[in-house]
Amino acid sequence: MKIIKINLLNSKYPIYIGSGLLKKGVYIPYIFGKQIIIITNKKIASLYLDILKKKLLLYNVKVVILPDGEQQKNIASVKHIWDLLIYYGLNRTSTVIALGGGVIGDISGFTASCYQRGISIIHIPTTLLSQVDSSLGGKTGVNHEKVKNMIGSFYQPKAVIIDADLINTLNNRETSSGISEIIKYSLICDYIFFKWLETNIKKLVTLNKTILQFSILKSCIIKCKFFIKDEKEKNIRALLNLGHTFGHAIEQYKGYGNWLHGEAISVGIMIATKVSIEIGRLKASVLYRIYNLLLKAKLPIYVPVGMTSTNFIKLIKLDKKNLYEKTRLILLNRIGKGHIINNINEKFLCTLIDYLPKKIKLVLNR
């Protein structure tokens, strides 16, 4: 078991990474008060809820079980949880435990940040993507019908428990979706990690235990370095959004949940790579390496059929990372070195997007 200690200005907490952590109850010392509400979804509840509840027999435990899917990540779900928190009489001495993937973690974090102006929350992420990305750093929120993650807050947990055993039940698409974020980390700041992924990607896709745990640990270390320096994303934390401006547009255009987050980010990474090459930031020779790694991870690498530059630009203009009405993109100077650009030319971007191939690769059925 590894422990990453987070020290922020107003928050200190541990991130545990290992196997069997849910059964070991390593989260118990971080429970505040005697009242607990577990927020999860139907699928995860059927797999892990009883294991968690058996470790909490000394507490007054309530459970909220939401339907599965990105479609549930909205203010209606938050209101539903708030209603139950009030009904059950939870207060500032209570603790929320988020047991689930990115949707559950984001909803739970936002709910906890607002209820009585903030109650304690512990994250137990159950997907690869949430273990290496969304459970870390304190970003919470829900989707607006017109744009992803527009409503939210920065709210740090009391602990994050990353149990690698919990992702053994993921399907292939969910696994690949998480790997997309792992690849992103290597691209923005660690060329050696990128080369290691090129060598070990097949083992990672099959969830080889040693390769998986190293990938999770490495990704968490990278993300933590960014948000410790820039908790509220005023500057360098924005580099963690490589591919996200384009990826979020794809998710919105295709309808929440039809593309998994990591799948859309994979295509976003390819677009960002192409933009980086076209403006002279990145050598064209690296395009194949990035393309090949995403392909081996069984991720899509082409813009969805029917999605035009007009669709992209309309949605990109709503992106919360934009500054002073200028489109802000995360690009690459080289593999292992990200770059923020704040004034990309819109006409150039439209021409490039419309030029990109429009077909779906692999066996992913959408």
The pLDDT tens digits for 65-113 are 999 988 899 999 999 999 999 999 999 999 999 999 999 999 999 999 9
Is it the case that residue 321 has pLDDT exceeding 70?
Answer: no
pLDDT in tens, 27-47: 999 999 999 999 999 999 999
CA 24 to each of CA 54, 226, 260: distance values in angstroms, whole numbers, following the listed order? 11, 30, 31
Which uninterrupted H or E stretch holds 17? strand 12-18
For residue range 127-152, what is the model confidence (pLDDT) as tens digits?
A: 999 999 999 999 999 998 888 888 99
Name the percent of the chain lying above pLDDT 70: 95
Is residue 354 very low, low, confident or very high in pLDDT (cuts 50, 70, 90)?
A: confident
What pLDDT is recorded for position 364? 37
Show Cβ contacts of residue 302 under 8 Å, excluding neighbours closer than 6 positions. Answer: 267, 270, 356, 357, 358, 359, 360, 361
Query: In this structure, is the dihedral angle defined by the CA atoms of residues 81, 85, 88 and 93, taken in order, positive or negative?
Result: positive
Higher pLDDT, 9 or 52: 52
Residue 230 CA to residue 227 CA, distance in Å, equals 5
| Residue 203, amino acid | K
Exposure of 354 in the CB half-sphere (CA atoms within 13 A) = 11
Q: Say which residues have a Cβ less than 8 Å from residue 21's Cβ, sequence separation at least 6.
A: 1, 27, 161, 162, 163, 165
Determine contact, residues 38/62, Cβ cutoff 8 Å. yes
- If you average pLDDT over every residue of the chain, what do you get? 92
Q: 337 has which bridge partners?
A: 334
Tell me the whole-structure pTM to 2 decimals: 0.92
Mean pLDDT of 3-25: 96
State how far the Cα of 136 lies from the Cα of 127, in Å rounded to an integer: 13
Cα 254-305-322 angle, rounded to 5 deg: 55
> Per residue in 219-274, pLDDT tens?
999 999 999 999 999 899 999 999 999 999 999 999 888 999 999 999 999 999 99
- Start-to-end C-alpha separation, the chain: 38
- To 10 degrees, the CA torsion angle through 248, 144, 153, 33? -120
SS3 120: strand
Region of poorest pLDDT, from 157-161, 241-245, 316-320? 316-320
**pLDDT at residue number 147:** 80
Rounded CA-CA distance 206/297 in Å is 10
User: d(Cα 240, Cα 157) in Å, to the nearest integer?
Assistant: 20
What's the chain's Rg over C-alpha atoms?
20
Domains and CATH numbers, the chain: 2-168 (3.40.50.1970), 172-355 (1.20.1090.10)
Is 121's pLDDT higher than 60?
yes
pLDDT at residue 181 tops 70: yes
pLDDT for 324 equals 45
pLDDT over 60 (residue 206): yes
Reply yes or no on whether the pLDDT at 13 is more than 90.
yes
Q: What is residue 365's predicted lDDT score, i.e. its pLDDT? A: 36
pLDDT at residue 361, rounded to an integer: 41
pLDDT for the residue numbered 184: 98
Percent over 90 (pLDDT), the chain: 78
Give the model's pLDDT for residue 353. 85
Give the pLDDT mean for 41-62: 97
Mean pLDDT of 288-297: 96
Query: For residues 291 and 16, what is the distance between their CA atoms, to the nearest angstrom?
Result: 32
State the pLDDT at residue 357.
65
Alpha carbons 152 and 344: distance in angstroms, whole number: 27
